[in-house]
A and B are shown apart, each in its own frame.
Chain A
Amino acid sequence: MTDAAESLTSMEFHPQPQPGAARPWAFPAPERGALDNGLTVLRCHRPGQQVVAVEIFLDAPLDAEPEGLDGVATIMARALSEGTIERGAEEFAAELERCGATLDAHADHPGVRVSLEVPVSRLRKALGLVAEALVSPAFDADEVKRLVANRLDEIPHEAANPGRRAAKQLYKELFPAATRISRPRQGTKETVEAIDAAAVRAFYDAHVRPASATAVVVGDLAGVDLDAILAETLGGWTGKPAAPRPMEPLTADDTGRVVIVDRPGAVQTQLLIGRIGPDRHDAVWAAQVLGVYCLGGTLTSRLDAVLREEKGYTYGVRAFGQVLRSDGEGHGASMLAISGSVDTPNTGPALEDLWQVLRTLAEGGLTDAERDVAVQNLVGVAPLKYETAASVAATLSDQVEQHLPDDYQGRLYARLAETGTVEATAAVVSAFPVDRLVTVLVGDASQIEEPVRALGIGDVTVVS
């Protein structure tokens, strides 16, 4: 082989360089305050971030939706930007975009998140529009009808997407049928069809108010009189005081089993393998983050080392923990899952290898080297991850909706650095026990059912 010799002789090699001294970095601490109307405000100055991010969390959880109206929170969130008492839907959208702003409103289990991004020089104008949407939404009957029809049109698109289809099935399998979380976040055809402007207005009246809302504002705020801007925008919002909102504990049936969602002719099988686990209030969270990263956080983690880099069965498989809902009282939970797609003929072998990776991990544990690299990545990557205002605002708002203290993320980094190999191993092994995993496979049942049955990883059922 001449290539090695060729390149060896033509380039001067140097030993791997050693790192210099790290410049200290800390997750930004927000300043917490409140407006006279009860709205909680978290603000955070990030020099140089010319695009300001505003996240407003509304305490309007999906389980507050009336029986039979799943999706009303979603329609309400979307309707917020479809016209106000002052201006119609088209004018509202036009005015926002004239600010160079983007506005997104999204309903999830903990509540509704309204996210604004706008150049700082136009913050006053854009926040004024957002305040108008929150204070005096039109909820025009015809606009709501249009949003309902649009939502109904989206449903078949989601059903045709393997990842979305797998998620829908997993939630249905895990959670008791009577609970809101077992059903699609944005409603079903039947429930969405039942939504009208009166239902949207009623949900808004019952749950949207400043006293139970929190606004997070992040960006380069030097030279911005944020108090004045808030006073003349969100300060004009009024509403009843907030009542405490207890949540039902989340429970799930994680009896090991396999559900195949038949997708005839699929060239790949979408895998989603999951159960539920603790939320961020649990002391194990840091160790679990570390262990789950070692299992499936990146392409050098254990799952991809075998499934991708050794076998080539997949473009990538990831393991993750994602908080579903949390109240600080121990009633919350996170989704612990492994997801990815593998080619159809190798579905059986890929699952066999995946289970073997989990067994090997449980038997031998993580190595110190794996733990060290994981800590260095998870902690070291923080300044990159939080370079933009939007990423900082999103994490602060996550903390708010999960009832976590404002310094949670900063302390999590300290905890990660202190967490040892034994703790991380214990956490990831108890997060993914091989006999307590619900496996959803969206793929061609005629090709994958027999090989999957032969693995003995639980009862197999096929649905369409």
Chain B
Amino acid sequence: MPMGHTATAGAGSGGLTATEHRLANGLRVVLSEDHLTPVAAVCLWYDVGSRHEAEGRTGLAHLFEHLMFQGSQQVHGNGHFELVQGAGGSLNGTTSFERTNYFETMPTHQLELALWLEADRMGSLLAALDDKSMENQREVVKNERRQRYDNVPYGTAFERLTALAYPEGHPYHHTPIGSMADLDAATLEDARNFFRTYYAPNNAVLSVVGDIDPERTLAWIEKYFGSIPGHDGKPAPRDGGLPDVIGGQLREVVVEDVPARALMAAYRLPEDGTRACDAADLALTVLGGGESSRLHNRLVRRDRTAVAAGFGLLRLAGAPSLGWLDVKTSGGVEVPDVETAVDEELARFAAEGPTAEEMERAQAQLEREWLDRLGTVAGRADELCRFAVLFGDPQLALTAVDRVLSVTAEEVREVAAARLRPDNRAVLVYEPVATEDSADGDDEEGADQ
């Protein structure tokens, strides 16, 4: 194959196809065949996330996701995990701002079991949900919060920056993990109401991808899910719309027991699903993705003022996306030194735009990420659900990379000039607490645990 601009012929879909179906109760179904490996992925997206939570009940969507693994009418206690793992499958669920997903990857001959399990909890969770599992999972989730956020350095940065970037009362002001106080306050009745409101077939998309017979799979889906009643009890989420730019810099300084100073920032960016969001993705990749990015070259290689410097993109469909800057300073370097350098690089980029070679690199990196994502049946199932739930069309998943590759350098420059500006960001600065002898943090083990 000649060295072209894209890595594969028809890079986006790579020959992949998907078909769409809808049951009478409103459940949308997406099927995609691929017989290379004897596995099938089941993915179910419910159109509910932390943005749907009410004040005083932050964390409820995620706590509820845990309760979905505590049994239903025909599945005892931990039976969901036991049956899937005992069938040679793997499974999990996750909760974000905009959705809750549940997924099983199964050996082909066990696919029907996963469908039966998902249908059982979609239709009958409340038959099993009780105080005991509520109290137990409340403690598990509080320990999840401690482990992932409260007990690690910089662990609450995401929560703090989100709270800065989206104003008080905005549906994205709080993160999916929720607050300890709200987790404590959630009641069994809250969980039941949450289920009754959001867990309906017409508020979900089911995708099945892999070594499947589409007709047979659809028949199973009709058999297990078809009798679950749909309803229209779901209230519309609060509007997440905001002006394109913040209009001033928001700033918080945290003095904490952290190993080094840090400069973090969240820039308000175009919403997911737009061409401008893809352009922003490319801009952030050129500026702060990988080891050849402008910020890495400037701060880590040349100025040597940072241990690590990079940008990430949090794509959001129902509110502005966030461009995520994270710089950990080197030795005794002060935050204003790195901040000045970052601003210089962003301003230069906004003026000049990416070079042709930078565009080629950024597009090659994003293309490879897409190949990775679509290279497994589980990744493909998740993307099909994502585009179906957030943008109404699963086929868009198969052409996403083509859209990224069609963005021009000028579009990248434009979005950078419009959005990557000091007056369009929330800034979080970490300053270590002063201690007598912490300067020489001792050596550390590189155990891969």
Report the nearest A residue to B124, measured CB to CB: A7
The answer, yes or no, to whether A238 is at the interface (CB within 8 Å) is no
- The complex places the Cα of A376 from the Cα of B107 at a distance, in Å, of 11
Quote the shortest CB–CB distance from B43 to chain A (angstroms).
Answer: 14
Q: Are A373 and B82 in contact (CB under 8 A)?
A: yes
Q: Are B8 and A121 in touch, CB under 8 angstroms?
A: yes
Q: Which of B49-57, B93-101, B109-117, B344-352 contacts A (4 or more CB under 8 A)?
A: B109-117
The answer, yes or no, to whether B162 is at the interface (CB within 8 Å) is no
Whether, in the assembled complex, B168 has its beta carbon less than 8 Å from a beta carbon of chain A, the answer is no
Q: Are B78 and A381 in contact (CB under 8 A)?
A: no
* A312 vs B142: C-alpha distance when bound (angstroms): 9
B88 CB contact (under 8 Å) in A51, A153, A171, A380: A380
Q: A50-B14, A156-B259, A167-B449 are in contact. Are A16 and B444 (CB under 8 A)?
A: no
In chain B, residues 80-130, which have Cβ atoms closer than 8 Å to a Cβ of chain A?
81-83, 85-90, 105-110, 112-113, 116, 120, 123-127, 129
A380 touches B73 (CB 8 A): no
Contact of A51 among B147, B220, B372 (CB under 8 A): B372
Q: Is the CB of A383 within 8 A of B39?
A: yes
**0/1 interface trace, chain B 130-141, chain A, CB 8 Å (1 if under):** 000001111111
Contacts of A308 in B (CB 8 A): 140
Query: B368 touching A118 by the CB < 8 A rule?
Result: yes
Q: How far is the CA of A189 from the CA of B331 in the complex (A)?
A: 13
Query: Which of A202-210, A284-292, A337-345, A355-363 makes up part of the contact surface?
Result: A337-345
Bound-state Cα–Cα, A74 to B14, Å? 38
B85 partner residues in chain A, CB cutoff 8 A: 298, 300, 373, 376-377, 381
Report whether A379 and B88 are in contact in the complex, using a CB–CB cutoff of 8 Å. yes
Known A50-B375, A168-B444, A387-B39: A342·B88 in contact at CB below 8 Å: no
Chain A hits for B67, CB < 8 A = none
Contact A155 B444, CB 8 Å, known A12-B227, A380-B88? yes
**CB of A20 within 8 Å of the partner chain:** yes
Contacts of A167 in B (CB 8 A): 445, 447, 449
With A and B bound together, what is the CA distance between A110 and B192 in angstroms? 53
Query: Closest CB of chain B to A400's CB: distance in Å?
Result: 18
Question: B438 to chain A: which residues have CB within 8 Å?
Answer: 156
A257 within 8 A of B: no
Stretch at the interface among B267-275, B299-307, B314-322, B412-420: B299-307
Please tell me if the beta carbons of A101 and B36 are within 8 angstroms of each other in the complex.
no
Stretch touching chain B among A89-97, A246-254, A422-430, A452-460? A89-97
Q: Does B34 contact A (CB under 8 A)?
A: yes
Query: Contact at A387–B445, with CB atoms within 8 Å?
Result: no
Is the pair B442, A381 in contact by a Cβ cutoff of 8 Å? Answer: no
Say yes or no for A115: interface residue by CB 8 A criterion.
Answer: no
Q: Give the size category of A's interface with B.
A: 35 or more
Cα distance, A301 to B120, chains bound together (Å): 23
**Is A201 part of the binding interface, using a Cβ–Cβ cutoff of 8 Å?**
no
Chain B contacts of A169 at CB under 8 A? 445
Nearest chain B CB to A351 CB, angstrom units: 15
Residue in A184, A310, A337 whose beta carbon sits within 8 Å of that of B443 in the complex: A184
- Does B260 lie within 8 Å of A98, measured CB to CB? no
Contact with B along A93-120 (1 / 0, CB 8 A): 1101111111000001000000001111
- Write out the residue numbers on chain B whose beta carbons fall within 8 Å of the beta carbon of A373: 82, 85-86
Question: A48 CA to B211 CA in the complex, in Å?
Answer: 13
Q: Could you give, for residues 356-395 of chain B, a 1 whenever the CB lies within 8 Å of some chain A CB and a 0 otherwise?
A: 0100110011011001100111100000000000000000
A75 to chain B, nearest CB (A): 13
Given known A-B contacts A119-B8, A167-B445, A125 and B301 have beta carbons under 8 A apart: no
Contact at B73–A13, with CB atoms within 8 Å? yes
- Minimum CB–CB distance from A376 to chain B (whole Å) comes to 5
Of the stretches B233-241, B244-252, B289-297, the one at the interface is: B289-297
Is B441 an interface residue, CB under 8 A from the partner?
yes
A122 at the binding interface (Cβ < 8 Å):
yes
Stretch of A21-29, A35-43, A229-237, A402-410 contacting B (4+ beta carbons < 8 Å): A21-29
- Given A4-B127, A17-B113, A381-B89, the answer on whether A189 and B443 have CB atoms closer than 8 Å is yes
Give the complex CA separation of A8 and B72 in angstroms.
11
- The closest CB in chain B to the CB of A293 belongs to B85
Q: List, in ascending order, chain A residues with CB within 8 A of B77's CB.
A: 309
Question: Which residues 108-167 in A have Cβ within 8 Å of B in the complex?
Answer: 108, 117-122, 125, 146, 149-150, 153-165, 167
With a cutoff of 8 Å between Cβ atoms, the chain A residues found around residue B135 in the complex are 312
B406 to chain A minimum Cβ distance, whole angstroms, is: 17
B445 and A157 within 8 A (CB): no
Q: How far does the alpha carbon of A3 sit from the alpha carbon of B191 in the complex, in Å?
A: 12
Q: Are B89 and A384 in contact (CB under 8 A)?
A: yes
Besides the known contacts A100-B7, A185-B445, A309-B140, 10 further A-B residue pairs in the complex with CB atoms under 8 A apart: A19-B109, A24-B38, A25-B107, A50-B14, A81-B291, A98-B357, A121-B3, A153-B330, A309-B78, A376-B87
Chain B interface (Cβ < 8 Å from any Cβ of A): 1, 3-4, 7-8, 14, 34, 36-39, 73-74, 77-78, 81-83, 85-90, 105-110, 112-113, 116, 120, 123-127, 129, 135-144, 146-148, 150-153, 192, 211, 220, 223-224, 226-229, 257-260, 290-292, 297, 300-301, 304, 307, 328, 330-331, 357, 360-361, 364-365, 367-368, 371-372, 375-378, 438, 440-449
Task: List the interface of chain A (C-beta within 8 A of B).
Answer: 3-4, 6-8, 10-14, 16-17, 19-25, 47-51, 74, 81, 89-90, 93-94, 96-102, 108, 117-122, 125, 146, 149-150, 153-165, 167-171, 183-192, 223, 265-268, 270, 272, 298-300, 305, 308-315, 322, 337, 339, 341-343, 372-373, 376-377, 379-384, 387-388
